[in-house]
Amino acid sequence: MLSWLHRPAPRAILGTLALGREPVSHATLDGLPAAIHTVAHLRGILVTAGVLPARDEYLAALERWIAKATTRITDPDERGIVRQFATWHHLRRLRQSTQRTGPATYHQIDAIRTEVRAAIALMAWLRARGTSLADCCQADIDTWLTDGPWLRYTARSFLRWAAARRHAHAVEIPAPPRDVVAPFITQDRRWSLLRRLLHDTDIELADRVGGLLVLLFAQPCSRIVRLTTEHVQPREDGVTLTLGTKPVALPQPVDDLVAQLAHQRRDKHAHGAKTWLFPGAVAGQPLSAEQLTHRLNALGVRIRPARNTTLMDLASDVPAVVLSHLLGLHVRTTTDWVRIAGAPGAEYAAEVSRRGHSASPDIRGCR
């Protein structure tokens, strides 16, 4: 802390706040002309200490980004339409979602930014052609799609929203083609990664545990980084980890690694904050999902293929409702995977899932 306080940027920020011209609030911090990382760190300290209330930082960053991005739209009518789309179609729905499921994730924010950028690009492209959103026809939209990159398909939501509110005629962008077969890894590859994470002590403990949660329990990084030491509970016969509504009894030696990580985090606990299993650089905040993704990718754990293979393996042995309770996934998701795992039409997926083994191996085989 003393080292941080001697840096010019923190001293300047604290000096500004000490003048008392503005209240110490999130809005005041948002308006400071300082490095974003310095402000984020100070904000984390103030939230952790109870000076400021906690807020959804991803959501707040998205609101600031929308205001800045739409300001660049020169035509006031077009600017108003894009702001309505961003505010009422995306922000409203995202706020409702976060009230039920918790803070927004990086991937949610990134998807919204992509759609808003596509809306802005479409409006500018139409204007350059001498037309507008209100006057464009299907031929214009078809040309927009064929003359540009695949990402132009992401304007589909905006165009459907605009047509429904009569900002545009009945024009549409078709759904982009999707991969028929989901990506998988072989079971040999999966268990090779598991053995490495279980035994390679040169890998950081947090990365080992994060990778194990992906490869054993199909957990997304956005959920892994939200785990705290309270989710880890010791028992007489081992350790449990709560991922869904029911705690999971961890097999050995996974339980030892998770217990070690929880013990390390409790030792560094300070300021009465949540003790994250995967703390980030900002005080009081967990590691971001994208950072954990990058770290696991560097170890060879590709998140989506690894999760798909794990879900396929689990769904072939465990009922959908039980999977939902244990893994914290929606029952419709687990039902779909159970159906795919047992469906005779899923030849490729089943073949990739089974490749390299004739029966589901036990975690004890990784010792």
Percent with pLDDT over 90 in the chain: 54
pLDDT at residue 128 in the model: 93
pLDDT at residue 233 in the model: 93
Higher pLDDT, 98 or 117: 117
Question: Residue 317: how many CB atoms within 10 A of its CB?
Answer: 11
pLDDT at residue 356 in the model: 43
pLDDT at residue 257 in the model: 96
Any idea where the domains of the chain sit in the sequence? Answer: 2-48, 57-164, 187-366
* pTM of the complete model beyond 0.75: no
Q: Flag whether pLDDT at 133 surpasses 50.
A: yes
Q: Flag whether pLDDT at 178 surpasses 70.
A: no
Q: Cα-flanking dihedrals φ and ψ of residue 239, to 5°?
A: -135, 140
242-276: pLDDT as tens digits: 998 999 999 999 999 999 999 998 876 554 457 89
235: CB partners within 8 A, 6+ apart? 249
- Least confident among 3-17, 82-96, 108-122: 3-17
61-93: pLDDT as tens digits: 899 999 999 999 999 999 999 999 999 999 999
Class level of CATH domain 187-366: mainly alpha
42-51: pLDDT as tens digits: 888 898 888 9
pLDDT level of residue 1 (50, 70, 90 thresholds): confident
Do 311 and 324 meet the contact criterion of CB atoms below 8 Å apart?
A: no
| Mean confidence (pLDDT) of the chain | 86
**Of the ranges 44-53, 224-233, 265-274, 347-356, which is most confident?**
224-233
* Cβ burial, residue 312 (10 Å; 0-12/13-18/19+): buried
pLDDT at residue 208 in the model: 96
pLDDT at residue 7 in the model: 87
